[in-house]
Structure 1
Amino acid sequence: MTPADAPTGPRSLRLGEWPIVDDHAIAQEQRTVFQQRKLAVEAYARGESLKQIAQDCGVHRSTVLRLARQGQQAHADGRLWGYRALVPHVRVQAYERSKAPRVLVHKTAGNAGAFAQLLRRHPSLASQLRRELEVSNVVLQAGEPGRLKGVKGAAARFHQACRNLGLGAGDYPLNQTDKAVRSLGRTLRAWMQDDFDLAARAAGTRIKPASALRQLPERGASDAFDTVEFDAHKMDVRLKVIDRDPLGGEQSYETDRVWLLAIIDVATRCILGYTLSTKRECSRFEAIATFRRAVTPASVPELTLPGLRLLPSGGFVSQAVEQTRFACWRQIRLDNARAHLAVTSLDVVCEALGCTADFGPAYQPDDRPFIERFFGTVTATLSRRLPGALPGRAGAQTALKRLRDPQDTMRLIVTTQELEELLDLTVWNYHGTPHSGLGGLTPLEMMQRHVLGIGREPVRLRLIPQPLREHPELLHDPVLCRVHGNLGRGERPYISFFHVRYTSEWLARRSGLIGQRLRIHYDERDLRRLRASTEDGQVLDDLLASGAWRYEPHSLMVRQEVFKAKRRRQLEFGAGDNPIEAFLALRRKDAGKRRRSASDIAQVQRERRTASTKAKARVNATSPPPEAPPMPASSQPSTGPVKGKRLRIERGFAR
């Protein structure tokens, strides 16, 4: 006995969850039968006997059990069949053919359900047929109900797939007069009628984020820092890097693509954190860097470009509302990118930050409408207004033609540093601009209302732990490294991390740690210093890199590229040489031909610029305020009565 045929007891019936039916819309004859069935099922749910129900309602006992069982089955819309299963002549279960299809050479009838039977026997055929709609091989033209275009090509590929499965001329559908082309078209149309997103993709359109919000109100949030959305966006803009060689000359190279990663708060539309990446593809390190920037305080950006102005009403969230410093969200929505599904990214999101991850369907940007709408704002207000904008596919082809033109100049194209300043200005002013989705309020004003409790109850913010505030590198999962050393050779203890030795004064004196493993936390943006602890939790002094790696700021990506070039025998450097300078010299050779090499140069410049900014901020924070220089006696203000002095004129001057 299958679960569908199993008897349904009165206690398992929850008629309050059954979808109701407007019986006035049913014909008079069928309405009488429906009302009798409804009374019978309700009496059965109350615990009355089937014999008494048959006498009072005139419904056979087997019919009552069948109706109760059918009402508990799942409908295609996600709910139960409920009272809809009680309507006469309603088919609860779709027709499934059991007999083999007939050979129809001169007729076109008699094979009802044969095509569905074929798809059930061969699921690969159903997958291929559905893929025809997903990749837009079959297009739905405008009109109601619409006309399918490309069915003949899909049918030809479908028939070839049937032959590949071993179906011959005597098997269905190849033994039919029309080769089941009409059944194939009806199946495609039925799938589109049941799935609006599939039909929209076949029609060549997509739901706009605003429309998605109206149809899916549950995607919103009522409190700040409750739900956030995270995604990456490839900016359609040409960038350049200005490199200064050791001789003092300047060279301009065009870089590869640039990615924008951002986190937006759903309730207030505030951008909590964002990151620019010049890599060819985003990795988990960029995602974690965005998470870290979203939970750490931000500072006022320093603008060097002339003509840029920060709005007084704008600002960053943690800078404008101090209560949100180190605040974290409850739920984050991501897509199914590999960088988001990485174990390290999930550990940061779910364990270190203590929030839940909601992974939406792949290739469905409307499932995260708020962050997609922000990317659209950045594209309209920033990317397409730059001289090197690439508006759409036609613009990309035009840019490729310009790249092949030897007379093309990059004088007007912005650099990566200029793009960072423009992006800081855009986010700052975005927070101070009235938002139509917030009733005319700015995102910062809405955030202040939620946090400070203006006109509503204040939200309870959840702050990250104190160790994460002081050491954001703890967001990463620790890496276990074994301590090396040899007492017989006089080799002090050290660890090897990504081809570079690390040690400290404390570790160099602890010979008992040789052979043990240390838990290493690192900042992928700067590998000059590592944070280490023993396996039992004892925190050690920071480990410093050896050689030139200790003084040259560099990221994990740069180090990996350096040693990759060394393994390929493209780069050679000695113990006293600067590996970063050698790497830059290697990339300068082909930066004019390969945009990826120019992106590596831009990455090194960004890391040096960031390290210099942090060093200045550290010095300003630790150094005492400068003392005022002593004022000369003549300029000091006099106190008390002033006595006149006798003027003495030297000889040689006339009176």
Structure 2
Amino acid sequence: MLSIFTTDDGDVRAEVINPDETPEELAEHEIRRCWLQVVIDVATREVLGWVISETADADHSMALLRMATRDKTKEKIRYGCKREPVPPPGLGLALADNGNATRNATVYGGQLGMGMTVMTGRAYQPMDKQVVERLFGTVQWQVLNFQPGYTGSRPGELTGYAPKASAKISHDDLYGTITRFFIDEYPFRPHYGTGMYGATPRQKREDAMTLYGPIDPPSQRERCLHLGVKVRATTTSEGVSAFKIPFNSTELQRFADGSSKTVTVHLDPDDLRKVYITAEGLNTVIEASLRMTVFKDLSLEEAIEIMEAATKANPTQRTLHERHLSEAMARRARESGFFPDSRDPASYQTIERLQRRADRLLQVEVRPPS
């Protein structure tokens, strides 16, 4: 594995590292290539979700679908947006290209489970997805090319300009700029695409709501079962543990009946307050609630980061209590001024990587107050 980084004078270098011994967090001056993934409403051109990630894969496509169907007030507050983001809708039809990020069993299964119709664009036919292609052009010319380090749309376009040496923007800064553009600017700009006739996306959404009405957003149960993450777990007297986070309910304990049973936990990485549990031979879906209230406002990645921070602060402790976790949260709040959001591209990772980080905490018990 290679670590790619820049020196203080802007030179790009690389060194060989051991992935088993090197921390996941980027060191100073390390760089990477990012993907911008977007989902929009074709009828109104409203942008429903956006994710910047290290790779284009099924995990990030599912994160994009979850963002499209949830409230985005968190992003509005964090990045100082002045307008209201588009409210969460239900999704009726999905049109995507042939990339492996969207054309895979995980994404198709989630979309079909939500009752969506799935369409796949033809290979090398940009007119099949012209609405999305046009949006990326708008973002490029009205947002990205004003940022230091912009490399141009093709190699050698910016003659005499050294983009790597000029880059001073962080991933979070870039995501904040794109967020403000999608919430504060793009919905209120006249659009001259097919069928828009100069109306703004927000005007088109209001017309669509008046003429046709909304598609109700999915419930938390649907989000967990179809767009969430599946974790195999074993029942105990304290419920089940997914990513070292405890969940329990009376219904779950009745099903376990004092014995260890293997179940599947369906978890929404953006909302940890409830999970839904299925098992072989079980005809109903069991609901279980979060047993560590300190995690109730956090995403899955934020919760793992808090546990890692608490573990580092208490290296001799084998049990993490609410007090340890609260102290870790307070310390991070003082140091950073806010908690990293799950959409922060500097921290958002694949579910497999989050699972590996959680597995490193196997020797540490996370104990609810009860």
- Which of the five TM-score ranges fits, normalised by the shorter chain? 0.5 to 0.7
User: What's the TM-score, normalizing by structure 2?
Assistant: 0.62
Q: 1:390 to 1:573 in 2, by over 3 A?
A: farther
Q: 1:266 to 1:515 in 2, by over 3 A?
A: same
How far off is 1:374 after superposition?
A: 0.3
Aligned to 2:266: 521
Aligned to 1:473: 224
Query: Which of the residues 185, 205, 219 maps onto 1:429?
Result: 185
How far off is 1:369 after superposition?
A: 0.5
> In the alignment, is the contact (CA less than 8 A) between 1:301 and 1:421 conserved in 2?
no
Q: 1:431 to 1:515 in 2, by over 3 A?
A: same
Once residues 138 and 147 of structure 2 are traced to their aligned partners in structure 1, the CA distance between those partners, rounded to angstroms, is 14
How far off is 1:508 after superposition?
A: 9.0
Give the number of the structure with larger relative contact order, counting CA–CA contacts within 8 Å between residues 6 or more apart.
Answer: 2
Ranges in structure 2 where 5+ consecutive residues have no aligned partner: 1-9, 11-26, 309-314, 329-342, 350-370
Question: What does 1:609-648 correspond to in 2, within 5 Å?
Answer: none
Aligned to 1:294: 68
Once residues 86 and 101 of structure 2 are traced to their aligned partners in structure 1, the CA distance between those partners, rounded to angstroms, is 26
More divergent stretch after superposition (341-350 vs 367-376) = 341-350
> In the alignment, is the contact (CA less than 8 A) between 1:493 and 1:514 conserved in 2?
no
Query: Which of the residues 131, 135, 142 maps onto 1:370?
Result: 131
Aligned-partner SS, 1:603: coil
Aligned-partner SS, 2:122: coil
Once residues 65 and 269 of structure 2 are traced to their aligned partners in structure 1, the CA distance between those partners, rounded to angstroms, is 13
AA aligned to 1:390 is T
Aligned-partner SS, 2:102: helix
How far off is 1:261 after superposition?
A: 1.6
Once residues 57 and 90 of structure 2 are traced to their aligned partners in structure 1, the CA distance between those partners, rounded to angstroms, is 24
> In the alignment, is the contact (CA less than 8 A) between 2:37 and 2:64 conserved in 1?
yes
AA aligned to 1:459 is Y
For residues 492-522 of structure 1, what are the alpha-carbon distances to aligned partners after superposition, in whole Å with 9 as ceiling and x for unaligned? Answer: 3554545x36353748965515243434111
For residues 262-288 of structure 1, what are the alpha-carbon distances to aligned partners after superposition, in whole Å with 9 as ceiling and x for unaligned? Answer: 1222232222x122223x212222212
Q: 1:397 to 1:472 in 2, by over 3 A?
A: farther
How far off is 1:370 after superposition?
A: 0.5
Query: Which of the residues 344, 351, 361 maps onto 2:106?
Result: 344
How far off is 1:315 after superposition?
A: 5.2
Once residues 369 and 289 of structure 1 are traced to their aligned partners in structure 2, the CA distance between those partners, rounded to angstroms, is 23
Once residues 573 and 393 of structure 1 are traced to their aligned partners in structure 2, the CA distance between those partners, rounded to angstroms, is 53
- Is 1:283–2:45 an aligned residue pair? no
Aligned to 1:357: 118
AA aligned to 1:536 is N
AA aligned to 1:264 is I
Aligned to 1:379: 140
AA aligned to 1:434 is P
- Is 1:504–2:248 an aligned residue pair? yes
Once residues 345 and 204 of structure 2 are traced to their aligned partners in structure 1, the CA distance between those partners, rounded to angstroms, is 41
Once residues 397 and 532 of structure 1 are traced to their aligned partners in structure 2, the CA distance between those partners, rounded to angstroms, is 57
User: What's the TM-score, normalizing by structure 1?
Assistant: 0.38
AA aligned to 1:475 is H
Q: 1:415 to 1:382 in 2, by over 3 A?
A: same
Once residues 78 and 297 of structure 2 are traced to their aligned partners in structure 1, the CA distance between those partners, rounded to angstroms, is 26
- Is 1:575–2:318 an aligned residue pair? yes
> In the alignment, is the contact (CA less than 8 A) between 1:258 and 1:276 conserved in 2?
no
Question: What does 1:419-458 correspond to in 2, within 5 Å?
Answer: 419-427=174-182, 428-437=184-193, 438-452=196-210, 458=211
> In the alignment, is the contact (CA less than 8 A) between 2:58 and 2:102 conserved in 1?
yes
Aligned to 1:326: 89
Q: 1:282 to 1:604 in 2, by over 3 A?
A: closer
For residues 312-336 of structure 1, what are the alpha-carbon distances to aligned partners after superposition, in whole Å with 9 as ceiling and x for unaligned? Answer: xx75333xxxxxx53433x221112
How far off is 1:603 after superposition?
A: 0.5
How far off is 1:372 after superposition?
A: 0.5
Query: Which of the residues 515, 534, 541 maps onto 2:288?
Result: 541
Aligned to 1:316: 85
Aligned to 2:169: 414
AA aligned to 2:267 is Y
Once residues 295 and 76 of structure 2 are traced to their aligned partners in structure 1, the CA distance between those partners, rounded to angstroms, is 28
Aligned to 1:267: 43
Which one has the bigger strand percentage?
A: 2
- Alignment RMSD: 4.4
> In the alignment, is the contact (CA less than 8 A) between 2:38 and 2:64 conserved in 1?
yes
Question: What does 1:70-109 correspond to in 2, within 5 Å?
Answer: none
**What percentage of aligned pairs have identical amino acids?**
19
For residues 161-193 of structure 1, what are the alpha-carbon distances to aligned partners after superposition, in whole Å with 9 as ceiling and x for unaligned? Answer: xxxxxxxxxxxxxxxxxxxxxxxxxxxxxxxxx
AA aligned to 1:316 is P
Aligned to 2:21: none
How far off is 1:541 after superposition?
A: 2.7
For residues 353-399 of structure 1, what are the alpha-carbon distances to aligned partners after superposition, in whole Å with 9 as ceiling and x for unaligned? Answer: x1211111234333200101000000000011111211122269988
Ranges in structure 1 where 5+ consecutive residues have no aligned partner: 1-237, 239-250, 319-324, 453-457, 486-491, 564-571, 582-598, 606-655
How far off is 1:478 after superposition?
A: 6.9
Aligned-partner SS, 1:368: helix
> In the alignment, is the contact (CA less than 8 A) between 1:268 and 1:447 conserved in 2?
yes
Once residues 377 and 255 of structure 1 are traced to their aligned partners in structure 2, the CA distance between those partners, rounded to angstroms, is 25
Aligned-partner SS, 1:281: coil
> In the alignment, is the contact (CA less than 8 A) between 2:247 and 2:275 conserved in 1?
no
Once residues 505 and 265 of structure 1 are traced to their aligned partners in structure 2, the CA distance between those partners, rounded to angstroms, is 38
> In the alignment, is the contact (CA less than 8 A) between 1:531 and 1:543 conserved in 2?
no
Q: 1:349 to 1:471 in 2, by over 3 A?
A: closer
